[in-house]
Amino acid sequence: MRRRPQGVWTARLAAGLCAGQLAGCMVGPDYRPPADPPVTRYTKEPLKNPSAADLIRTQQGGSADQSFVAGADIPGAWWRLFRSKAMNRLVEEALAHNPTLEAAQASLRIAQQNVLAQRGTLYPTLTANPQALGAQAPGLDLQSPLQDQNRYLYSLYTPQVIVAFNPDVFGGNRRQIEALEGEAENQRFQLEAAYLSLTANVVTAAIQEAALRAQIEATKRVIQAQTEVLELYNKQLKLGQIAGADVVQQQAALSLSQQQLPPLEKQLAQQRNLLTALTGRLPSDEVSETFSLNALHLPTRLPVSLPSHLVQQRPDVKAAESQVRTASANVGVAVANRLPQFSITATAGASAVRLAQLANPGAAFFTIIGQATQPIFDAGTLYRRQRASEETLNQAQAQYRATVIAAFQNVADSLRALQADAKAVAAASAAEKATGESLSLVRKQYSAGAINATQVLIAQQSYLSALVTSAGARATQYADTAALFQALGGGWWNRTDVAPPPPETDPAKFL
């Protein structure tokens, strides 16, 4: 009975030290988020809408004229602005089955569990340590522990519990928790980056497939037209109306056009493989969705976030910021490792040679051990580790600034690209229309005998080039539109499809 108050005192001492460490000091620098860049726009001059395409119609009958909406928010499912059901299905399938995204989700859960595990170091550990000992007492003049001195074989039962506690006096453990929280934050934004990269890759691959199909179709149309001209030349050659050189020249032009078709078909097949892989399938299980420029609607009102918001929207910038936080906390860990380390161990239990005697108050015992260690000489090892941590912080801060600069450059490049795309689409559309009308006129003149075959050949080549260029310009405008959404962060903060973590079924998580 006399030992009960002492056991209570021991528990209260451990609890008091635990609470004291939570309010104790924390060595090392306290993390402060970096300030936003002091800029108000992305380009040198105020933001200008793309021009020159206001009179150009898309193949769906819509306008190719785009405008920027400054300060508008980015939708979480930005790809839906292209109004393609096939693209929506493919993106949803990729989000559900892409293994890279699953790996990023697992990485986040790993980091979160590491944080929770490290938080356990702030509290005492309670360990049960029952022991049963079988022994033979020495004879001769040594006394047996038993009452009967003629018995030398005996058993000793010692059930006990051990309470161990390492007070975090200088905050080393708390800084370690802070570092792991930074890693978890980094993994969170790595997941957002993987999500954004996956959706952007699916959209870009679909647009590229549509562009290739348009180029293949244009090339086939030209091949068909050149084949018809070649047949006409052969008839005229038989009638003696043209020279053989004209037929050879047309045959060469047809062959050149035919040479352009296999590379385009190869790129289309590889693009189909890419789309299939992005959805988590093997190439033999190709996706059924196909894409053409006619089925994609061009978003005309493009939201452009304020520059002051960009650093909070870009997953790569947020990931770099979390790395700064981790590096800052690791400096505190390195400093704490150079300071005294404390530990307290309390053991309570009972010891008896018979199980029935364990309930006797006289069999009870307890011990309390306090220990402090302080490095005195380590050849500068801990100091050098602290210096390395400080330089790692400098490195992380520099990398953060570089990431911010790259993010603003990325947005500015996308804006410039869309401004140039409008001019390119207008010029390509005008060239396609003009060369088409010219070819039609040249054919009529050739049929009337007013011009020679060379002029027809030149008009055909001009029309081929204009068709391919027009399809490429329109596809580039679509792709650069998707690139702008990606550069602005992709609206991850507006997502509603975040998968919940798997349930924890372990009934004894505290062990």
Bridge partners (DSSP) listed for residue 162: 127, 347
Eight-state DSSP code of residue 346? E
Check if the beta carbon of residue 330 is closer than 8 Å to that of residue 337: no
Min mean pLDDT across 25-39, 50-64, 291-305, 372-386 is at 50-64
- The pTM of this model reads 0.84
456-502 pLDDT per residue, tens = 777 877 887 888 888 889 899 999 999 999 999 999 999 876 667 77
pLDDT at 61: 60
Tokens of 402: 């570089």
Q: Write down the domain spans for the chain.
A: 28-123+169-339+383-494
Statement: residue 401 has pLDDT above 60 = yes
Residue 383 in tokens: 């100091």
Mean pLDDT of 412-439: 91
CA distance 246 to 240: 12
pLDDT at 179: 96
pLDDT at 31 over 80: yes
Amino acid 4: pLDDT: 42
Please determine, for residue 235, whether its predicted confidence score (pLDDT) is greater than 50: yes
Block residue for tokens 């980056």: 193
Architecture per CATH, domain 28-123+169-339+383-494, reads as Up-down Bundle (1.20)
- Asked if 306 and 408 touch (Cβ cutoff 8 Å), the reply is no
In order of 72, 78, 177, 206, 246, the CA distances from 326 in angstroms are: 33, 32, 9, 39, 74
Q: How many helices (H) and strands (E) does the chain have?
A: 9, 8
Q: Tell me the β-bridge partners of 158.
A: 131
- Average pLDDT of the chain is 86
Looking at residue 311, its pLDDT comes to 94
Please report the pLDDT score of residue 225 as a whole number. Answer: 79
Contact 38, 341 (CB under 8 A): no
> What pLDDT does 499 receive?
66
For the cut 80, the answer to whether the pLDDT of residue 143 exceeds it is no
pLDDT tens digit string along 153-182? 778 888 999 999 999 999 999 999 999 999
Percent of the chain at pLDDT > 70 equals 88
Q: Which two tokens stand for residue 36?
A: 């936003």
pLDDT of residue 3: 41
pLDDT for res 339: 94
Query: What was the pLDDT predicted at 139?
Result: 57
